Amino acid sequence: MTTTTGRPDGARGVPLHVANDVRRTREVVALLHAELPRWGLVVWTAGNVSQRVRVPGGEDLLVIKPSGVTYDDLTAEAMVVCDLDGNRVLGDRSPSSDTAAHAYVYRNRPEVGGVVHTHSTYATAWAARAEPIPCVLTMMADEFVGSIPVGPFAVIGDDSIGRGIVETLAGSRSPAVLMRNHGPFTVGADARAAVKAAVMLEEVARTVHVARQLGEPVEIDPAAIDSLYSRYRHVYGQGGSTPAPEATPTIEQQEIDA
């Protein structure tokens, strides 16, 4: 397969027929990284956003931030392109230390187009307690279709975290998981959807924590959760529906305003 030229040492380059898609995805992912500190979900260089690049007739790629680089320095050119084994194919820096986890999710959840990891305070506090967040808010039914599950403890650096994410979410309709003693991971049809889930997750984690200081929150009946989620998907908003998790939009649809 023909690949781009002029790539740095150690990187293979990307197929020419998706070069424009890769360029636009690097722009989108760079912009979305700025949302994490804006919403108070990360400090220093923690956290990461990635997005899948679908490659017709070939193996998909992912775009993710470089490891240990401050958010102010996360330009589109700084974004690293990897294959779904976590190997760098474009970019002159090492990818995030969570790349193997993201890659595992993409390999095993073909409908997922975006993955986000943060260390947001309240969601991470629930993860430290290894306690699921119960569905006691209509907002949770809307966004997470129930409680937020807890995944197993896993070491950083290989695909153990990704394996835990996939196994935990296989038994849940939630796009979010609290990895024990680590922090939250969210998935979505694209990176923007995963970022939204991360923002909403921290909000409900904080609210439920506060509610528990006042007493025991009352969980929502499962039938009501289904009804709320259906309304949110098909009635809420201006377009008549919210994006379905299984529908992966085109690159043009994924672009956001700067």
Per-residue pLDDT tens for 94-138?
999 999 999 999 999 999 999 999 999 999 999 999 999 999 999
Q: Is 250's pLDDT higher than 60?
A: no
Could you say which of 122, 182, 190, 229 is catalytic? 182
Per-residue pLDDT tens for 64-104?
999 999 999 999 999 999 999 999 999 999 999 999 999 99
236 catalytic, yes or no? yes
Tokens of 126: 């629930």
* Amino acid 255: pLDDT: 42
Are 20 and 76 in contact by the 8 Å Cβ rule? The answer is no
Higher pLDDT, residue 81 or 257:
81
Kindly state the greatest CA–CA separation across the chain: 62
* Amino acid 21: pLDDT: 98
* Amino acid 239: pLDDT: 62
Averaged pLDDT of the chain? 90
The C-alpha atoms of residue 27 and residue 39 are separated, in whole angstroms, by 20
* Amino acid 171: pLDDT: 86
Residues written for the chain: 258
* Amino acid 77: pLDDT: 97
Q: Is the dihedral of CA 148, 82, 31, 158 positive or negative?
A: positive
**Domain range annotation of the chain:** 16-244
Portion of the chain with pLDDT greater than 90, in percent: 84
122 catalytic, yes or no? no
Could you say which of 98, 142, 159, 190 is catalytic? 142
Could you say which of 21, 102, 104, 117 is catalytic? 117
* Amino acid 234: pLDDT: 87
Q: Is 34's pLDDT higher than 60?
A: yes
Name the nearest CA neighbour of 145 among 156, 153, 137. Answer: 137
Are 91 and 73 in contact by the 8 Å Cβ rule? The answer is no
* Amino acid 177: pLDDT: 98
CATH superfamily label, 16-244: Class II aldolase/adducin N-terminal domain (3.40.225.10)
Place of tokens 């084994």: 85
Beta bridge partner(s), residue 177: 185
17 catalytic, yes or no? no
229 catalytic, yes or no? no
* Dihedral angle over CA of 245, 106, 153, 244, nearest 10: 0
